[in-house]
Structure 1
Amino acid sequence: MSRSYVLGVAAAVFATFSWALNFLSPYMMGALGPIDFITLRFIVSGGIGLVMLRIYWPGDTVLSRRSILSAGLLGVLGYAVYIGCIMGSVLNGGAIIAPAFLSATPVIIAVAGNMIERTTTWSSLAVPIMLAVCGLVAANYGTLVGVLDNDLTSYLAAVSYAVGAVLTWLMFSILNQKMLAKIPRVHAGLWTGLMMVGAGLSVVVFVPFGLVLDMYTYPHLDLHLGNTLPVLAAAAALACVASVGGAWAWNFASQRLPMALSGQLISVETIFAVAFGLIAEQRLPTGLEVLGIVGLLAGASIAVRVMAQGNREGVKVQA
């Protein structure tokens, strides 16, 4: 393997590790609400993004206005919106549901890609699809049973947020890889800075609307140094590592790895996310949860391998 390839894999794994820290957000926001915490976090991220633009902006820029705007919108989609969906799922359904759905992303990509352009037979995708479905059922079974006797609304909200996170991630990863392929000379630090500024501006613009709609918690709290400093520190830490660090590492990896491999590596986030979530909940996974996650990861791995083989052979399968 080339040095560039190895560095790309290492960067992608670091990105998945840093993004998995997002699953700790609901446990770190103290008395604040999720909208408050996201706003704090991305104001910090936007500030760091401005510093990065100051450092990496070239005298003769390689970016058009359209590319700059696209980078900012990708930051909104892949960070502010995505993390909002993650927090919503964890708050409503606990540590397992969102990672379980995210781990099925490579299978979803394989199915969608084969529907658009048949590069492999559906029978070759039958095993990963079956593993993904069974894995989701197993991983969600305990949570579903726990809410059937109570209010099903929270569980359905958690699933809805998880599906939103999957769709957001799919759109972000595909669009980001395509944009970087068109501008290979752009520095990963510059592209990351533009993303963070976009995400930061989005939360600032949202503040007046959130206040009018009473979506913020802080106006109703008795804020003082004791209950705000830990939350500010947590938001700043996540902004530095999970937002800026993760974005930089993923952009770096996206410039060096094919999408098939990066799609498989995103499954690693599931392992980190489940581990962090269970640590925060101070419990061990149930047998069904372990079985479900293993099934999902196996299905993702097989799906990526099948699609990669079909793309290498370059054969279009007749319907």
Structure 2
Amino acid sequence: MLIGLLCALGAGLMWGLVFVAPLMLGDYPGLVLSFGRYIGFGLIALVPAFFDRQRIAALTRADWIAAIKLSFVGNILYYAALATAIQLADAPLPAMLIGTLPVIISIFSNWAPGHPSEAIAWRRLAPSLVIILAGLMLVNASELAHLDGSRSLHDYALGCFIALGALAAWTWYPIMNARHMKRHPHIRSSTWSTAQGLATLPLALAGFAAYGAYTGMGGGNYDFPLGPRPWPFIGLMLVLGLCASWLGTMLWNKASQRLPTSLAGQLIVFETLSALLYAFIWRGTIPPLPVLAGIALLCIGVMVGMRAFQQGRTASAAEAAAG
């Protein structure tokens, strides 16, 4: 469980980067940021794929179909929606919705677990979920106070709607990814991360080409292909491709293999914490007291959740021994 916790923490630190990238490249459409990030991910994945080619070749047709589905929904659709929502409504509103993921994923995975042994009694799960939700509400309430009203109500409403799409995609992805990893324990987490990168590359290239054709026909005012700031765009996309996509996915795959799905769902809270940390570094400000209090509640909720699962495992083992 400790290894799984550390891997989930590392994945959260990597994934937090994706929340500041749309602010750093605010003059780039969300779709372009998504396609660019996953072209970078796919190109980077070619290197480990070469050294891991025997295991990659051993993947079945069913594995590749699963990788394509996961890549399309959990990678391209999710980040296109998230980046667009951040640019439309600023970071706080999408963060408020995406920040509910630990609670939502835990509820869905415990309601329909991939294996009966993963489910625990709701009375054990409820305290940690309540604490995490309270922490998220504190953090998000404080963040919403920073909205400056410079955007229209239409932009806020549209950003909220698109963020709900990102929320749905990122709820589906970790649950289905964890189930595939548990059903195929022979697949190494690094191999599966590389496979998802390879599956994402043609999807991202096709989407980027389609967007280029759209701009060529007079749609939008984006300077295709590299936009107004080519080198910052290329550099940031490669950083996201390496750190937030390949490395983050590999670490999350390791965590998914070692932790119950509903506990892993709670640990996505590390992504929210990392996003807040990077956002305050980008702003050059210190988090206010409500945010610090919310962060403390989030950490307490995770620890309570871990204890609940440890107690649940101990109780199950005792019942099995008695039987």
For Structure 1 versus Structure 2, the TM-score category normalised by the shorter chain is 0.7 to 0.9
Counterpart check, 1:21 vs 2:17? yes
Counterpart check, 1:217 vs 2:242? no
Contact 2:106 2:263 survives alignment (8 Å): no
Q: CA RMSD in A?
A: 3.5
- For 1:285, the equivalent position in structure 2 comes to 287
How many Å apart are 1:299 and its aligned residue? 5.0
- For 2:253, the equivalent position in structure 1 comes to 251
How many Å apart are 1:33 and its aligned residue? 2.5
TM-score, scaled to structure 2:
0.78
Report the 3-state secondary structure (helix = DSSP H, G, I; strand = E; otherwise coil) of the residue aligned with 1:217. Answer: coil
Work out the percentage of aligned pairs sharing the same amino acid. 22
How many Å apart are 1:263 and its aligned residue? 2.4
CA distance in 1, matches of 2:193, 2:110: 31
Report matched runs for 1:1-319 at 5 Å: 5-29=1-25, 31-58=27-54, 61-113=57-109, 115=111, 120-121=121-122, 125=126, 128-129=129-130, 132=133, 135-136=136-137, 139-140=140-141, 143=144, 146=147, 151-210=152-211, 211-212=213-214, 214=219, 217-219=222-224, 223=228, 227-295=229-297, 298=300, 302=304, 306=308, 313=315
CA distance in 1, matches of 2:259, 2:132: 26
Which residue identity does 1:191 align to in structure 2? W
CA distance in 2, matches of 1:123, 1:181: 23
Segments of structure 2 that go 5 or more residues without pairing to the other structure are 114-118
Which residue identity does 1:198 align to in structure 2? A
Which residue identity does 1:93 align to in structure 2? A
CA distance in 1, matches of 2:266, 2:35: 31
Which residue identity does 1:205 align to in structure 2? A
CA distance in 1, matches of 2:189, 2:13: 18
CA distance in 1, matches of 2:103, 2:249: 23
Which residue identity does 2:69 align to in structure 1? L
CA distance in 1, matches of 2:302, 2:100: 6
Which residue identity does 1:102 align to in structure 2? I
TM-score, scaled to structure 1:
0.79
How many Å apart are 1:11 and its aligned residue? 2.3
How many Å apart are 1:167 and its aligned residue? 2.1
Q: In 2 relative to 1, CA 306–144 (structure 1 residues): closer, same or farther, beyond 3 Å?
A: same
Aligned residues: 308
How many Å apart are 1:174 and its aligned residue? 0.9
Moved more, 8-17 or 128-137: 128-137
How many Å apart are 1:274 and its aligned residue? 0.4
Contact 2:35 2:204 survives alignment (8 Å): yes
Segments of structure 1 that go 5 or more residues without pairing to the other structure are none
How many Å apart are 1:20 and its aligned residue? 0.6
